[in-house]
Amino acid sequence: MNIKKVVIVGCCTGILATAIALGAGKGDRSMSYAETEQMQRTTISLDAADLQEPHILKVSTNSSSGRLSEVKIKVDGRTISTAKNSPIELNLSPMLGRGKHTIEILGNYSPGDSSVQIEFSGPGTQVSQQTSGNGAIAHTIVVDVQ
């Protein structure tokens, strides 16, 4: 009788221990969350004579699955374009005269692991900025026209 009890207790304890051991390896008990932020700023100088030619700002995603959303383009603090679709192409030459000009490109893209390409190109100059990882676009190009 005593032996039977011991066997039953032993079996129950074994089952319980196995259940605990298996359960310990499952489920993510360590909740964590991550945040990222990325900003890029490039300053270049341009010859005023070159502004007679187009200077194109292009914003696009590098993959077919990537999408832009609520992209806002500002020149010297003034919003000149609010676009939802990719790619975005604008000629900025008419908005640039002698002096320093700040071009801001702000918005979002998805999925976060795709990438966004920003290009500003004119005769003899090409500025490019590429970002990926967090889904937010925060780029600035400062053009000093001399």
Partner 1 sequence: MKVKLLAFSLLSGSTFLLVGASLTNSASAQCVMADVSVQYNISGSRQPTDRTNDVRQDSNGRCRGNSVVTTGVQGNVGGNGRVEQRRTVRQQINGSNDGIGGKPVKVRVNVPIDVYNPADNLRY
Where does this chain bind partner 1 (CB under 8 A)? Answer: 3, 6-7, 9-11, 13-14, 16-18, 20-21, 24-25, 28-46, 113, 115, 124-134, 142, 144, 146
Query: Residue 128: which residues within 8 A CB-CB, separation 6 or more?
Result: 117, 118, 119, 120
- Shortest approach of partner 1 to residue 136 CB, angstroms? 10
- 97: nearest Cα among 43, 55, 132: 55
- 57: nearest Cα among 27, 20, 93: 93
Q: Whose Cβ is closer to partner 1: residue 91's or residue 130's?
A: 130
- Shortest approach of partner 1 to residue 16 CB, angstroms? 7
Alpha carbon separation from 130 to 38, 40, 115, 117 (Å, rounded): 11, 9, 7, 4
Q: Whose Cβ is closer to partner 1: residue 8's or residue 84's?
A: 8
Q: Whose Cβ is closer to partner 1: residue 82's or residue 87's?
A: 87
